[in-house]
Amino acid sequence: MSKGRKRDRSASGARLLLTLVALAAAAGPAVAQEGNFLTNMFKYGGTTVPPSQPKDVEPPYCPPVEVAEGGAALQSYGGKAGNSSALRNQITFGRLARECAWLQDGSVSVKVGVEGLVLLGPAGSAGRFEAPVQIAIKYGDKAVVSRARKMTVAIGSGEVQGMFSLVEDGLVVPPAMAGDYAIEVALGAGGARSAPKKRKPAPSAEAGAAQ
């Protein structure tokens, strides 16, 4: 190849390089959000920038769970109420929890978690017990939603206590009340009651005569 042709090719290559540099300068610096392949891969997990997301919605008002006055504990006695030696069992609340989420219409869905304990007293014995639990969403003095549940607790021989847990979902607060409401729980009236025991059949007259 002649030296003239080599010079022509070198000159063409130089002009092409200058053209590319000029185009890059005219385009300005690379923008990572729009065209930087490696930046987009590491930052967004893909070659393109994802569409902008709306700002996070502020979480709904979600007050702590309160225990209604007089509803924190229930006692069952075998004799005179208030006599500690005659106490059969006592129910009390343990941990209380709640979770709130917006619904599409602006109302709030509330989930309430309740843990409780049934404790045998001096006059108590092993068996199955019912723990009545009331859960309510209140707006002022008015109950907007109310649920009643009976939890069964088994206490075996040689044990002195048993636990129960309850998760109540789908308690809906209307939009107009979503900024000022209360979550309330209580142990319902009646106390923990032993499940009824099967009675032994009375001996027949013939059996009595045989003896």
Domain ranges across the chain: 3-44, 65-194
Report the DSSP pairing between strands 161-173 and 108-120.
antiparallel
CATH number corresponding to 65-194: 2.60.40
48 versus 135: the higher-pLDDT residue is: 135
CB under 8 Å to 174, separation ≥6 — which residues? 107, 144
- Is the entire prediction scored with pTM above 0.75? no
If you average pLDDT over residues 149-178, what whole number do you get? 96
Write the CB contacts of 126 (distance below 8 Å, at least 6 apart in sequence). 120, 155, 156, 157, 158, 159
Q: Output the pLDDT for position 205.
A: 37
More confident of the two residues 194 and 2: 2
Residue 4 has pLDDT above 80, yes or no: no
211: its two tokens: 């003896």
pLDDT, tens only, 52-109 = 545 567 999 999 999 999 999 999 998 788 788 899 999 999 999 999 999 999 999 9
pLDDT at 84: 87
Enumerate the H helices of 28-80 as residue ranges: 32-35, 37-44
The percent of residues above 90 in pLDDT, for the chain, comes to 58
Rounded CA separation 117/132 (Å): 12
pLDDT at 133 exceeding the cut of 80: yes
Instruction: Render pLDDT for 176-202 as a digit per residue (tens, 0 to 9).
Output: 999 999 999 999 853 344 444 444 444
Question: What is the chain's mean pLDDT, rounded?
Answer: 77
